[in-house]
Amino acid sequence: MAASVGRQCLRLLRGIEPWRSSLLHCENTAVSHFLQSLRKLPVRGFYTNARRVHTAPARTLSLLRPLPVLLVTGGGYAGYRQYEKYRERELEKLGLEIPPKLAGHWEVALYKSVPTRLLSRAWGRLNQVELPHWLRRPVYSLYIWTFGVNMKEAAVEDLHHYRNLSEFFRRKLKPQARPVCGLHSVISPSDGKILNFGQVKNCEVEQVKGVTYSLESFLGPRTSTDDLPFPPATPCGSFRNQLVTREGNELYHCVIYLAPGDYHCFHSPTDWTVSHRRHFPGSLMSVNPGMARWIKELFCHNERVVLTGDWKHGFFSLTAVGATNVGSIRIYFDRDLHTNSPRYSKGSYNDFSFVTHTNKEGIPMRKGEHLGEFNLGSTIVLIFEAPKDFNFKLKAGQKIRFGEALGSL
């Protein structure tokens, strides 16, 4: 078996060489064309006090033709990246673990410089534009074909019913399409793909295997406000200890990625009480599994809404993480929440307490109850306290649907 795996790995690695040679040939060809265009430029000379200088008229700069050079080199790089992804998938099929290649600080900074918040606001406005009746079926059919949407589960299957893209994204399901599991204490709040799950150790949470983010950076700094579920502290261990309120309990997490074709609403994963909301305006980078493997602390960079409270075993939180073209995060019982708004700046956060003088507990949520929605696809992160014998009923990478079991005691 080991010899067979070794031979397949060697074939994969040997396959890189001819591909790399063709890439180098394309680059060399582009460079040679560039140099030949330089030689064809008419030049003129003039003298300075130091030496003779040769220049080309400005009107001849168009002969340089940089577009073919950019297309060849850019296309070659994109092709190389696609081949790298293909090779990684093949090695994963053979059971070989591939260490993640993390983006550098300059790459993250360059990505964050893209005006994704502005683009997402523009996309949101485009989604609100009412489509002509005759255009609805071809537009929605293209989306259904591209992302594999199952319209048989939709409460309204007629595509002409949805006036705009926003209504189509937020379509409701038939009541029997997602039965809620009553045997397990925690269910999936949404459709999606399990990126990671397990115990939180050393105040670091895995967004995917091998790539982590800080628990305190994700949930935000603690304050001395009495109505917050976590009191102030500074050391990392103390932060985790303040979340774990009962002796013998551990802190667990689960990350669910919602693809564009998934059902976009999310529900309460258990019976709990929401006491506080914290909104982090931030970037709106893509959160697909490939990006989660590439950018460390991706979820801490992005805009997110953190709901915290308590369930029967202690601390419980659900965080809705925004993404590119998913700046709109809606919580049904929170009318004061406005995400991807220009009035909020990156790096800040704003708090809201649901505990008042007239409501001493907060917002009670029943398992499976409607909680909120995205406008395209994004990520849900659960972080909660539970006894040590809590067990997840999951496998990393598996597809899951709202109402199915995440874990139980």
* Residues sharing a CB contact under 8 Å with residue 42, sequence separation 6 or more, in sequence order: 56, 57, 60
Token pair 């705009």 is found at 164
Q: What is the mean pLDDT of residues 10-36?
A: 49
Tell me the average pLDDT of the chain: 78
Q: What is residue 111's predicted lDDT score, i.e. its pLDDT?
A: 83
Q: Which residue has the higher pLDDT, 45 or 116?
A: 116
Mean pLDDT on 3-15: 51
- What separation in angstroms does the CA of 269 have from each of 295, 392, 399? 28, 14, 16
Confidence of residue 46 (pLDDT cuts 50, 70, 90): very low
pLDDT in tens, 124-156: 788 889 999 999 999 999 999 998 899 999 999
Predicted local confidence at residue 213, as pLDDT: 85
Helix (H, G, I), strand (E, B) or coil at 406: strand
Phi-psi region of 180 (alpha: psi -120 to 50; beta: other; left: phi over 0): beta
What is the Cα–Cα distance from 121 to 322, expressed in whole angstroms? 12
Most confident of 31-45, 74-88, 97-111, 365-379: 365-379
The pLDDT value given to residue 74: 60
Would the pLDDT of 34 be above 50?
no
On the question of pLDDT at 246 being above 70, the answer is yes
What's the token pair of residue 371?
A: 């909680």
Confidence of residue 28 (pLDDT cuts 50, 70, 90): low
The answer, yes or no, to whether residue 48 has pLDDT greater than 60, is: no
116: three-class secondary structure by DSSP: helix
Separation between Cα atoms, residue 163 and residue 350, nearest integer Å: 34
Q: So what's the pLDDT on residue 225? A: 43
Bigger pLDDT: 283 vs 270: 270
pLDDT band at 230 (very low <50, low <70, confident <90, very high): very low
Is 60 exceeded by the pLDDT of residue 60? no
Q: Which residue has the higher pLDDT, 149 or 72?
A: 149
Q: Which range has highest mean pLDDT (187-191, 296-300, 327-331)?
A: 187-191
- Where is 168: in which H helix or E strand? helix 165-169
Q: Which of the residues are catalytic?
A: 191, 267, 378
- What's the whole-number mean pLDDT along residues 294-311? 90
Averaged pLDDT for residues 201-212? 80
Range ranked top by mean pLDDT from 21-30, 57-66, 231-240, 330-339: 330-339
Query: Does residue 92 carry a pLDDT above 60?
Result: yes
Q: Which of 71-85, 185-199, 227-241, 353-367 has the lowest mean pLDDT?
A: 227-241
3-state helix, strand, coil in the chain (%, to 5): 35, 25, 40
Residue 119 has a CB neighbour count (10 Å cut-off) of: 14
